[in-house]
């Protein structure tokens, strides 16, 4: 996991823990409305509490097992975990940039892809100028590696 991904999980954990007293209060207010068997507010609050507790446990587990890597401390001419890779599509010349991160951090909308994704697997250990073929769900795609940076 990258340093940024680790920090983002710590922030989410703090936010969720801060939310727990509010959820407990919602349960108490809903319970005061009477019969809890048919109390939708109560059941919704209990479900929210359960989901929040589960997410807290999941994050704590990930943080406990995390091997945090700062990409700024890495470097080299080959693509590996933490690298930001600029690619040019051989088919249409479009440029795309991806940062290779852990699966917990991957968010295609933000330009981060999991180290286990088909694109990342095709890029690992390649250099600038290499052409890679990616078997993606949308079909076979070909890219040329234009640049590798460590941010």
> What's 25's domain CATH number?
1.10.287.180
61 lies in the same domain as 75: no
Q: What is the pLDDT of residues 112-140, one digit of tens each?
A: 999 999 999 999 999 998 999 998 777 88
pLDDT at res. 127: 92
* Domain limit, last residue, from 65, 84, 106: 65
56 lies in the same domain as 12: yes
Residue 19 lies in domain? 3-65
59 lies in the same domain as 125: no
> Strand 139-149 and strand 84-89: pairing?
antiparallel
Interval 6-14 mean pLDDT: 91
Region class of 134: left (phi > 0), else alpha (psi between -120 and 50), else beta: beta
pLDDT at res. 113: 93
Q: Which CATH number covers residue 85?
A: 3.10.50.30
**Number of compact structural domains in the chain:** 2
81 lies in the same domain as 14: no
When comparing pLDDT for 103 and 131, which is higher? 131
């Amino acid at each position: 996991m990258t340093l940024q991904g680790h920090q983002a999980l710590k922030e989410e954990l703090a936010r969720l823990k801060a939310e727990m007293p509010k959820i407990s209060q919602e349960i108490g207010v809903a319970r005061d409305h009477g019969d809890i068997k048919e109390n939708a507010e109560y059941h919704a609050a209990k479900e929210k509490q359960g989901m929040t507790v589960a997410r807290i446990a999941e994050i704590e587990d990930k943080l406990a097992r995390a091997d945090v890597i700062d990409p700024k401390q890495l470097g080299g001419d080959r693509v590996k975990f933490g690298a930001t890779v600029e690619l040019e599509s051989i088919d249409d010349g479009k440029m795309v940039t991806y940062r290779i991160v852990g699966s917990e951090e991957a968010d295609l909308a933000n330009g981060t892809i999991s180290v286990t994704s088909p694109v990342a697997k095709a890029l690992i250990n390649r250099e600038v100028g290499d052409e890679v073929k990616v078997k993606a769900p949308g079909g076979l795609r070909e890219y040329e590696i234009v640049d590798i940076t460590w941010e």
